[in-house]
């Protein structure tokens, strides 16, 4: 049924997307990266600067992904790492080693990633973390949850528009985008036996919602403002949303996937989340703009009544906008991005017309001085989508030398992208409503290390019937010392978050009227 171009044209639909390159140009001189802003900043002449990933990594204080990680990945899994990892497009991490340690022993963990449904069709940049996640799921044979944040995008868009309802941005529109995106994600090849995809509006409740409440109680407005750039005029829904994205990382938010009872109508089998399920570690593959959320997550994992291990992250760069390396592809600017439902002719036109080139100014110059693949968009896209390392190296060398022309490089890029997008569209056309619903149904998942997990989930901690029985931490009064330690941790977390914003302590009144995310 569903043809790839199903859904309204993305030009109108990109209501909840981050700012487009044109908007970034008006932005601050400084590089600014958080879940609601991705900009390399502008120089004195007003030119957009390339994103400085090393500076970002230092600022976020996230370790680099090293050759040792790649080698260990191969030793543990017996498979070579995906090209996105080999080429350090996934370039940073938190506790990736610990996930590998755990996997070596127990043969499972939980994968979690997500997508803010801001438009009907996803673009190539949106597809990148999912391509990578799919490969991880296949190699590790582990369960995966995909969160579609229809609520986040609704709240964000309303906030951007000062509370006003706008066309294509009614609450129900975001549910529809989420469903369209769900089909796109399925078409990237996920295994229905191991994958649960949900929209927040449809799935939240039960233990998930209990985790949300607990987490909301651990975060303060100051922390949220520091980490996400919000202020007193930000709507309260968007402030509270962070807790949802964070606890979505806890396996205990999804007991049914592990064959355990939840607390939902009409079956209230288990009143509280289970300790053993909460103890399953999680790895999140995502772009580095989401790191500010997950920093708050990691700081609070062990403060939950049923604590979870600190969530591991593997973090990617952004797929460059067609206009060049200062911003990422944005659904709100159709000319900045190649959409997964673009026909081959559109892909060709976009690359030829808008693709920022690192080639020489003239043919003579190019042959004499060579081109610069480091800023060239066609080369950048090939590094994401061309699988052969040898071929890519050959392209790089000949482009630098000037023996490969800009036209030839673009042609190669167009061919590769057309191949990828066309194959995607063929699979997407086969994703029916029923298939979508199969992925979106909460059900027990199948994965390799499941036996090991079930051995850990013993009957006496299943259900927690009658309040917190069988739950070591629950029900017990916290000592004075513990309460004091929590207070100190809270203050420390707030300070950290504020520092992250560059020590921004501007009073709310001074910021009043300033739009929050773009
Ligand atoms: N906030 C993300 C976005 O706007 C969506 C999201 C939710 C997500 N949970 C996630 C992304 C986990 C990566 C990993 O796209």
Distance between CA atoms of residues 212 and 202, nearest Å: 15
Q: Is residue 81 a contact partner of residue 139, using CB atoms and an 8 Å limit?
A: no
* Residues 333-341, mean pLDDT to the nearest whole number: 93
Please determine, for residue 145, whether its predicted confidence score (pLDDT) is greater than 60. Answer: yes
* Residues 270-295, mean pLDDT to the nearest whole number: 96
The first and second tokens of residue 471, run together, are 């739950």
Nearest CA to ligand 1 atom 11: 114
- Asked whether 145 lines ligand 1 (CB < 6 A), one says no
Tell me the pairing of strands 282-287 and 37-39: unpaired
* Residues 215-236, mean pLDDT to the nearest whole number: 96
- Asked whether 116 lines ligand 1 (CB < 6 A), one says yes
Token pair 């061309």 in the structure block, residue: 386
Nearest CA to ligand 1 atom 7: 114
Torsion (CA) 6, 319, 33, 63 in degrees, nearest 10: 130
Q: Which of 50-54, 154-158, 327-331 has the highest mean pLDDT?
A: 154-158
CA atoms lying within 13 Å on the CB side of residue 121: 26
* Residues 324-337, mean pLDDT to the nearest whole number: 86
- Asked whether 244 lines ligand 1 (CB < 6 A), one says no
Confidence of residue 466 (pLDDT cuts 50, 70, 90): very low
* Residues 326-353, mean pLDDT to the nearest whole number: 92
Q: Residues with Cβ < 8 Å from 120, sequence gap 6 or more? A: 6, 7, 8, 9, 10, 13, 176, 177, 180, 181
Residue 11, phi then psi, degrees to nearest 5: -60, -35
Secondary structure (DSSP) of 314-325: EEE-PPEETTEE
pLDDT at 452: 92
- From 149, 246, 313, 318, the mutation candidate for ligand 1 (largest count of ligand atoms within 8 A of CB) is 149
- Asked whether 225 lines ligand 1 (CB < 6 A), one says no
What spacing in Å lies between the alpha carbon of 39 and ligand 1's midpoint? 18
* Residues 284-294, mean pLDDT to the nearest whole number: 97
Could you tell me which residue, 129 or 40, shows the higher pLDDT?
129
Task: Return the ligand 1 atom nearest residue 287 CA.
Answer: 13
Please determine, for residue 281, whether its predicted confidence score (pLDDT) is greater than 60. Answer: yes
* Residues 467-473, mean pLDDT to the nearest whole number: 38
The first and second tokens of residue 138, run together, are 């296949």
Largest pairwise CA distance in the chain: 80
Please determine, for residue 147, whether its predicted confidence score (pLDDT) is greater than 90. Answer: yes
Please determine, for residue 128, whether its predicted confidence score (pLDDT) is greater than 50. Answer: yes
- Asked whether 197 lines ligand 1 (CB < 6 A), one says no
* Residues 438-455, mean pLDDT to the nearest whole number: 95
Distance between CA atoms of residues 140 and 233, nearest Å: 44
* Residues 229-256, mean pLDDT to the nearest whole number: 97
* Residues 274-299, mean pLDDT to the nearest whole number: 97
The first and second tokens of residue 232, run together, are 């007193």
The first and second tokens of residue 257, run together, are 């996937």
Distance between CA atoms of residues 329 and 317, nearest Å: 12
Please determine, for residue 233, whether its predicted confidence score (pLDDT) is greater than 90. Answer: yes
pLDDT at 501: 46
Token pair 């709240």 in the structure block, residue: 155
Span 371-430, pLDDT tens digits: 999 999 999 999 999 999 999 999 999 999 999 999 999 999 999 999 999 999 999 999
* Other residues' Cβ atoms within 10 Å of the Cβ of residue 102: 19
- Asked whether 348 lines ligand 1 (CB < 6 A), one says no
- Asked whether 316 lines ligand 1 (CB < 6 A), one says no
CA nearest to 114, candidates 277, 257, 378, 293: 293
Span 299-308, pLDDT tens digits: 999 999 999 9
What spacing in Å lies between the alpha carbon of 287 and ligand 1's midpoint? 9
- Asked whether 286 lines ligand 1 (CB < 6 A), one says yes
- Asked whether 290 lines ligand 1 (CB < 6 A), one says yes
- Asked whether 149 lines ligand 1 (CB < 6 A), one says yes
CA nearest to 240, candidates 275, 215, 260, 267: 215
Which has the minimum average pLDDT: 101-115, 142-156, 237-251, 488-502?
488-502
Q: What's the mean per-residue pLDDT of the chain? A: 87
What spacing in Å lies between the alpha carbon of 470 and ligand 1's midpoint? 33
pLDDT at 143: 98
* Residues 346-361, mean pLDDT to the nearest whole number: 96
Please determine, for residue 60, whether its predicted confidence score (pLDDT) is greater than 60. Answer: yes
For residue 159, give the 3-state DSSP assignment.
helix
What spacing in Å lies between the alpha carbon of 463 and ligand 1's midpoint? 30
Please determine, for residue 11, whether its predicted confidence score (pLDDT) is greater than 80. Answer: no
Q: Which of 19-33, 266-280, 459-473 has the highest mean pLDDT?
A: 266-280
């Amino acid at each position: 049924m569903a043809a790839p171009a199903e859904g309204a044209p993305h030009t109108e639909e990109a209501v909840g997307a981050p700012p487009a390159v044109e908007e970034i140009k008006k932005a601050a001189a400084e590089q600014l990266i958080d879940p609601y802003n991705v900009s390399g900043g502008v120089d004195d002449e007003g030119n957009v600067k390339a994103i400085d990933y090393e500076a970002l990594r230092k600022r976020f204080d996230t370790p680099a992904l090293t050759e040792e990680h790649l080698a260990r990945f191969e030793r543990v899994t017996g498979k070579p790492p995906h090209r996105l990892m080999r080429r350090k497009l996934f370039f940073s991490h938190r506790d990736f080693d610990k996930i590998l340690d755990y996997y070596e022993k127990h043969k499972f963990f939980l994968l979690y990633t997500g997508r803010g449904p801001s438009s009907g069709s996803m673009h190539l940049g949106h597809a990148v973390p999912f391509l990578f996640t799919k490969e991880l799921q296949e190699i590790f044979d582990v369960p995966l949850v995909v969160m579609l944040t229809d609520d986040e995008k609704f709240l964000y868009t309303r906030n951007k528009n000062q509370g006003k309802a706008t066309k294509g941005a009614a609450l129900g529109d975001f549910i529809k985008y989420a469903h369209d995106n769900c089909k796109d994600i399925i078409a990237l090849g996920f295994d229905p036996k191991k994958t649960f995809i949900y929209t927040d509006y449809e799935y939240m409740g039960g233990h998930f919602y209990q985790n949300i409440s607990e987490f909301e109680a651990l975060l303060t407005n100051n922390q949220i403002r520091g980490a996400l750039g919000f202020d007193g005029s930000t709507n309260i829904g968007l402030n509270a949303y962070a807790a949802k994205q964070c606890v979505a990382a806890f396996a205990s938010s999804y007991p049914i996937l592990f064959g355990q009872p939840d607390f939902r109508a009409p079956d209230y089998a288990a009143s509280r989340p289970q300790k053993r399920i909460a103890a399953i570690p999680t790895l999140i593959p995502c772009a580095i703009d989401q790191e500010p959320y997950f920093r708050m997550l990691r700081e609070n994992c062990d403060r939950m009544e049923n604590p979870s291990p600190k969530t591991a992250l593997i973090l990617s760069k952004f797929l460059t906008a067609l206009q060049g390396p200062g911003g990422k592809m944005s659904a709100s600017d159709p000319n900045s991005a190649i959409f997964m439902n673009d026909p081959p002719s559109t892909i060709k036109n976009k690359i030829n017309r808008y693709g920022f080139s690192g080639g020489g100014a003239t043919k003579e110059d190019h042959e004499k001085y060579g081109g610069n693949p480091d800023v060239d968009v066609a080369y950048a896209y090939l590094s994401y989508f061309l699988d052969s390392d040898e071929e890519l190296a050959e392209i790089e060398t000949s482009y630098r030398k000037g023996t490969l022309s800009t036209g030839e490089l673009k042609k190669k890029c167009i061919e590769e992208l057309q191949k990828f997008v066309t194959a995607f569209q063929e699979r997407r056309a086969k994703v029916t409503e029923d298939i979508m619903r199969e992925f979106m149904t909460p059900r027990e998942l199948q994965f390799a290390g499941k036996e090991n997990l079930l051995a850990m989930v013993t009957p006496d901690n299943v259900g927690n019937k009658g309040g917190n029985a069988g739950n070591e931490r629950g029900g017990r009064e916290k000592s004075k010392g513990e309460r004091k330690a929590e207070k100190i941790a809270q203050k420390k977390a707030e300070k950290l978050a504020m520092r992250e914003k560059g020590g921004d302590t501007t009073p709310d009144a001074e910021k009043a009227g300033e739009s929050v995310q773009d």
